[in-house]
């Protein structure tokens, strides 16, 4: 079966899927899209009009990064990115959801701050989620035990892609260098963890890159 991934150059959600495909050594082609652009193809392939989207040989599609990771685990179980023990699998899924929800809160801040008059209460609320979510991620990682045969799981992939996107967003001016986003300062152990993940070939080969998008016009 050949797979095509619809991705965006700087999408952390698309990167999650690309990293999982590479960790499983599944060959795939990529089409880079800009989902907010006039020429986007996402609406053709997903009712949610969002990428990432996987297109299969028979043109059926699998979408939403979280679901795609679960789908890959069912269709391509080896090597596993999810422990077989149900309790350990729950722990991995919990870490995954924390990574995903914190990523969404960060994106909410980035987009809100593009508005002419951002809502400070909204930004504060999202910032609390980021702060508390990151602390929960660190505690979750500290208390888990290694699982035999699994070097990296879908929780690590969700958290790693989220953590590593933040400096990219700041460096490229998508968001100001806000204190809430300086997670490396508050969580040095997470920084060491993210560095270890970032050194893997799957992360090195999927480093985010700039895409042609004006976030202000997206929010206009």
Give the shortest CB-165-to-ligand GSH separation in angstroms.
Answer: 10
Residues at the contact surface with ligand GSH, assessed by CB under 6 A:
8, 11, 13, 35, 42, 49-52, 64-66
Give the shortest CB-168-to-ligand GSH separation in angstroms.
Answer: 12
Q: Please say which residue, 67 or 85, places its beta carbon nearer to ligand GSH.
A: 67
- Determine the Cα–Cα distance for residues 183 and 162; give it in Å rounded to an integer: 11
Give the shortest CB-146-to-ligand GSH separation in angstroms.
Answer: 27
Q: Please say which residue, 112 or 147, places its beta carbon nearer to ligand GSH.
A: 112
Among 104, 111, 102, which Cα is nearest to 175's?
Answer: 111
- Determine the Cα–Cα distance for residues 193 and 159; give it in Å rounded to an integer: 10
- Determine the Cα–Cα distance for residues 43 and 62; give it in Å rounded to an integer: 13
Give the shortest CB-40-to-ligand GSH separation in angstroms.
Answer: 8
Query: Residue 150 — φ and ψ, nearest 5°?
Result: -125, 110
Q: Please say which residue, 129 or 186, places its beta carbon nearer to ligand GSH.
A: 129
Cα dist from 100 to 30, 57, 94, 96, 155, whole Å: 22, 28, 10, 6, 9
Q: Please say which residue, 24 or 101, places its beta carbon nearer to ligand GSH.
A: 101
Give the shortest CB-142-to-ligand GSH separation in angstroms.
Answer: 26
Which residues partner with 29 through β-bridges? 4
Q: Please say which residue, 65 or 206, places its beta carbon nearer to ligand GSH.
A: 65
């Amino acid at each position: 079966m050949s797979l095509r991934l619809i991705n965006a150059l700087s999408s952390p959600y698309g990167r999650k899927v690309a990293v999982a495909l590479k960790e499983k050594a599944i060959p795939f082609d990529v089409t880079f899209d800009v989902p907010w652009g006039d020429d986007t193809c996402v609406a053709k392939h997903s009712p949610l009009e969002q990428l990432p989207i996987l297109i299969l040989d028979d043109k059926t599609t699998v979408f939403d990064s979280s679901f795609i990771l679960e789908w890959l685990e069912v269709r391509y179980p080896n090597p596993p990115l999810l422990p077989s023990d149900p309790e350990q699998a729950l722990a991995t899924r919990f870490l995954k959801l924390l990574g995903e929800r914190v990523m969404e809160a960060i994106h909410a801040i980035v987009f809100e701050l593009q508005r002419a008059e951002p809502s400070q209460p909204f930004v504060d609320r999202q910032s609390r989620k980021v702060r508390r979510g990151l602390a929960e991620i660190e505690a979750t990682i500290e208390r888990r035990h290694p699982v035999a045969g699994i070097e990296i799981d879908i929780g690590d992939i969700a958290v790693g892609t989220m953590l590593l996107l933040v400096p990219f967003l700041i460096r490229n001016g998508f968001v100001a260098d806000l204190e809430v986003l300086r997670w490396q300062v508050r969580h040095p152990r997470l920084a060491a963890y993210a560095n270890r993940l970032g050194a893997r070939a799957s992360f090195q080969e999927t480093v985010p890159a700039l895409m042609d998008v004006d976030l202000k016009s997206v929010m206009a």
